[in-house]
Chains A and B, each alone.
Chain A
């Protein structure tokens, strides 16, 4: 069963992140908050596509539901989550 720690490590391996926070412990449903400088200048769709690309086949098979929130470092500093 996939854990939030697994998802965190998959994302961090493929994307330079300032912060990755994954919540969810039922093995199927997760909430991700990701802050990365790589999101700068990208639309939200493009930002999520970067995350999906990092997860690759895991997204097709093991992860049933992943809710994603992507932020640039600037957006992260300007908001409280």
Chain B
């Protein structure tokens, strides 16, 4: 399976997916840590994370998949939501919680 197909499979077989640097227990970047914090605050308990530092092909592929140059990247129900800035904004205005309830 090529990287783009693999990404597609990951985001469609899990309802909430986070591509991040490091792991939820040990994030390797402040933005990734922040994304985890926000998803936790929303009560997400089925989060699927991929450590891009351990997967160089996905690290490159995910940027192409979403046309978005940075990690973290959040996907909900197969749709690209954004990085930590957008997640913060959506959390503050309640959009993120709403999206996660669907």
Residues on B with beta carbons closer than 8 Å to the beta carbon of A49? 67-68
Assess the B85–A48 pair: CB atoms within 8 A.
yes
Q: Is A19 an interface residue (CB 8 A)?
A: no
Q: Identify the 7 closest CB pairs spanning chains A and B, nearest first.
A: A59-B69, A44-B86, A45-B82, A52-B69, A67-B85, A68-B85, A60-B69
Cβ contacts under 8 Å, B80 to chain A? 45
B85 near A59 (CB under 8 angstroms)?
A: no
How many inter-chain contacts with C-beta < 8 Å in the A-B complex? 30
Contact B89 A65 (CB under 8 A): no
Chain B min CB distance to A60 (Å): 6
CB of B92 to closest CB in A, whole Å: 12
Binary contact track B56-89/A, C-beta < 8 Å → 1, others 0: 0000000000011110000000001111011001
A69 interface hit (Cβ, 8 Å)? yes
Residues of B1-18 whose CB lies within 8 A of A: none
Q: How large is the interface on B (under 10, 10 to 19, 20 to 34, 35 or more residues)?
A: 10 to 19
List B residues at the A interface (Cβ < 8 Å): 29-31, 67-70, 80-83, 85-86, 89-90
CA distance A65 to B30 in the complex (A): 9
Distance A65 CA – B70 CA, assembled complex (angstroms) = 8
Interface-centre pick from A45, A59, A60 (highest chain B CB count, 10 A): A45
Q: B62 CB to closest chain A CB, in angstroms?
A: 13
Q: Besides the contacts A44-B89, A45-B68, A45-B81, what 9 more A-B pairs have beta carbons closer than 8 Å? A: A45-B86, A48-B68, A48-B85, A49-B68, A55-B69, A65-B29, A65-B31, A67-B85, A69-B85
